Amino acid sequence: MAFSSFSWPFRRRGSGGGGGDGDGPSQPYAAAGDGDEELGVTPQLLDFLRTLSPGTFKSSALQLQGGGSAGVEAGELTGWQERHAVLVLSQAKELAKIRYDLCPRHMKDKQFWRIYFLLAKSYTSPYELRAIQKEKVRRMETENGKAKDVTTVEVEMQESKCRRDSKTSPSDEESQDS
């Protein structure tokens, strides 16, 4: 998924000091409850986010630039990361304020989220890995389902062809006898 198609909820600047104030895509996730856990927004993560400051992001950006920031700016966020980001902004107002203070004056949105996922990696990676595994299983089931459908269609086509051949065979024999 392209980053440009995902960034709209993060560019919104409301009077509340940050994006994702409960309207738009974040609402279903906030109401779900179970989605919070599936997307890795746990009480432990929210506690960790309260310890972050704009300075943390700035110093991380400087460290990454010193070590080559190509890895931070090059990649796109995954679908899971996008959904996580929307949810975490709606639940962690402190993070929304930090993002509002930093983007775009000090860093780009893309860089902010890359740094965020590096800082929160120990909290989010088990959930992200689980989501990747679920997606692979779902994809395999879909592929297996498609393979069955193709086989069924092929069998039906063969049966139909055999019926036509068997229907034309007696008439062919009659015309040959005459």
pLDDT band at 161 (very low <50, low <70, confident <90, very high): low
Does some domain include residue 175? no
Which residue did the predictor score with more confidence, 34 or 41? 41
The domain of 79 spans 3-135
Does some domain include residue 143? no
Query: How many domains is the chain built from?
Result: 1
Which residue did the predictor score with more confidence, 137 or 65? 137
Does some domain include residue 149? no
From 113, 107, 112, 93, select the one nearest 50 (Cα to Cα).
93
Does some domain include residue 173? no
Class of residue 12 by CB neighbours under 10 A (exposed 0-12, middle 13-18, buried 19+): middle
Does some domain include residue 169? no
The tens digit of pLDDT for each residue in 120-147 reads 999 999 999 999 999 999 999 988 876 5
Query: How remote is the C-alpha of 113 from its chain's centroid?
Result: 14
How much is the pLDDT for 40?
93
CB 89 within 8 A of CB 19: yes
How much is the pLDDT for 153?
57
Does some domain include residue 100? yes
Does some domain include residue 141? no
Q: Which of 63-77, 114-128, 156-170 has the lowest mean pLDDT?
A: 156-170
Which residue did the predictor score with more confidence, 121 or 10? 121
Does some domain include residue 158? no
Rounded to two decimals, the pTM is 0.61
